[in-house]
Amino acid sequence: MILSLDIRTLLVVLVLGNALAILLLFFATRKVPWKYDSLFMIGRVFQLAAWVLIAMRGIVPDLLSFYFGNSLMFCGVTLEGLCLLSLKREIGTGWRIAFASQLAVMLLAWWTLGPAQGAKFLLSSIFDAALFAIPGCALVSIAGRTSSLQKFIGATLLLCSLSTLSRGVYIAVAGSYSLTVPTIFQVFHFMVRVLEMILGSTGYILIRKEFANEELRKASEEKNLLLRELQHRVKNSLGIIASLTSLEAERNDDPSFRSSMSKVGDRINAVAELYDRLLAEDPTKGVRLDIYIRDLAERLLGGYSSDPEKIRLEFELESAEVDAKTSVAVGLIVNELATNAMKYAFPGDARGSLRIALLRREGRLELEVSDDGVGIPASPGGDAEGLGTMIVAMLAKQIGGALSRGPGPGTSVRVAF
């Protein structure tokens, strides 16, 4: 039954299969390229051209079909073997020289041994078999990390090596070679090459994707580590700056200067708290804005009022996750608005509530900070158009937000972003 198979049919399958493999490799590897992808694709292109020329033997001159076609095949198999070996071990200069030397010997023998087809096939088959056997042995080896897929591909390569060698020995013994005369060695060889073409290409794609994903994971871990280190340094630097502003304020007797330095310190601490939160969580993910706002407001209240009953904090915070840049802006906005309310909304023994809401409306987030105090008078102490208001407006614009004021009593400021 095996001998009834048409050799040229198998050759057509190899031609079409290699063309399909090249397309599959191109689309499967272009998004996350790996260093050996181009070499593997070039190897497949060489083999495709070789199978086309070999299939046309008898139609085109032997110089083109037999000599040049098999030379292209040797080049393609060499590149493929090198790339498949890279799936198990790092390819150093020694391996490159070894493969290049084998290729050079094969090409030299193919073009210089004259019409002795048996000798040509025997010598080239030995080296050709070695090109399949080397990566095959490496992939089935238990040394290092070896998956079931790697072992299966390795076994296929070893089978291909065996079929190549047995075919070469048969042709050397027979002393002649005919592409159109099917023999068990001939048919077996081409069937195994079809199997190797399918498994070699798909296996390479699957395994190199595992490697590429592993490299991406390691790169991501290194990036996260560097990011955490940077955030830690920024947090420490902000802490030092906040301490220096506090010391500078204590050394000066001017109340307005001390008040200004206190505001600066609060702004720095608002950003420092965000970095504290980033260090406690995954730095590549978003920040839970609702939790950050609650912690920030409670810390601010603890610093401004020793009487826990004077200002009552009320929260209406929906769960929301945003990036670090947006979190910094929102944190500074909350700091400005909450600080103003705590300092000026409830003078003397007045008591009241400070409400902070974060709601989703029409696909956007809306932050509202409101109090039921006396409101913000247009005076230097708490002017409605002073530096704090300018900072809030600038930060709202930075995150693409719209700033508006709500109706009284008290003060109500909304930022939709």
The whole-angstrom separation of Cα 347 and Cα 376 is 11
Question: How does pLDDT run across 185-216, given as a tens digit for each residue?
Answer: 777 777 888 888 888 888 788 877 777 777 77
The arithmetic mean of pLDDT across residues 230-252, rounded, is: 68
What's the pLDDT score for residue 238? 66
Residue 392 burial (CB count, 10 A)? 23
Higher pLDDT: 315 or 9? It is: 315
pLDDT tens digits for range 7-17: 667 777 778 88
| pLDDT greater than 70 at residue 365 | yes
Cα–Cα distance for residue pair 208/197, rounded to 1 Å: 16
The residues, any chain, with a CB within 8 Å of residue 273's CB and separated by 6 or more, are 292, 295, 296, 299, 331
267-302 burial, b at 16+ Cβ within 10 Å, e below that, comes to bbbbbbbbbbbbeeeebeeebbbbebbbbbbeebbe
Categorize the per-residue pLDDT at 412 as very low, low, confident or very high, splitting at 50, 70 and 90.
confident
Nearest alpha carbon to residue 351 among 331, 374, 330: 374
Band (pLDDT 50/70/90 cuts) for residue 94 is confident
The alpha carbon of residue 46 and the mean position of all alpha carbons in its chain are separated, in whole angstroms, by 31
| DSSP label at residue 3 | G
Residue 168 has pLDDT above 70, yes or no: yes
Pairing of strands 402-405, 412-416: antiparallel
The secondary structure of the chain in percent helix, strand, coil, rounded to multiples of 5, reads: 70, 10, 25
Predicted pLDDT of residue 307: 66
Please give the Cα distance from 271 to 22 (Å, whole number).
53
Tell me the pLDDT band of 131, cut-offs 50, 70 and 90: confident
Q: Say if CB 171 and CB 177 are below 8 A apart.
A: yes
pLDDT tens digits, one per residue of 367-405: 888 888 776 654 444 444 566 677 788 878 887 877 888
pLDDT band at 248 (very low <50, low <70, confident <90, very high): low
- The residues, ordered by sequence, that sit 6+ positions from 20 with a Cβ below 8 Å of its Cβ are none
pLDDT at 54: 81
Q: Is the distance from CB of 196 to CB of 13 less than 8 angstroms?
A: no
Measured N-to-C along each axis, helices 255-280 and 324-344 cross at an angle, to the nearest 10 degrees, of 140
Question: Tokens 């046309």 identify what position?
Answer: 56
pLDDT attached to residue 343: 77
Main-chain phi, psi angles of 86, to 5 degrees = -65, -15
Supply the pLDDT for residue 182: 66
Helix (H) or strand (E) run with residue 388 in it? helix 387-398
Find how far residue 269's CA is from the centre of its chain.
Answer: 34
Phi/psi at 355 (5° precision): -110, 130
Q: With 0-12 CB in 10 A as exposed, 13-18 as middle and 19+ as buried, what is 208?
A: buried
153 exposure class (CB count in 10 Å sphere: 0-12, 13-18, 19+)? buried
In the structure encoding, which two tokens stand for residue 48, read together? 């495709």
Q: For residue 198, how many other CB atoms are within 10 A of its CB?
A: 15
For range 56-70, the mean pLDDT: 79
Q: Could you tell me the end-to-end alpha-carbon distance of the chain, in angstroms, rounded to an integer? A: 74
Burial of 188 (0-12, 13-18, 19+ CB in 10 A): middle
Q: How many Å apart are CA 345 and CA 332, to the nearest integer?
A: 19
Q: Which residues of 211-228 are buried (b: 16+ CB within 10 A; e: fewer)?
A: ebeeeeeeeeeeeeeebe
Q: What is the tens place of the pLDDT at every residue in 325-360?
A: 787 788 788 888 887 887 777 777 778 888 888 888
**What is the radius of gyration, based on Cα positions, of the chain?**
37
**How many whole angstroms separate alpha carbon 270 and alpha carbon 277?**
11
Instruction: Look at residue 255 in the predicted model and tell me its pLDDT.
Output: 73
Q: Share the mean pLDDT of the chain.
A: 76
CB 215 within 8 A of CB 35: no
**pLDDT (tens digit per residue) in 263-306:** 667 667 666 666 666 556 665 567 788 887 888 788 777 766 66
Cis, bond preceding 33 (omega within 30 deg of 0): no
Domains of the chain: 2-220 (1.20.1070.10), 286-416 (3.30.565.10)
Closest CA to 89 of 43, 152, 134: 134
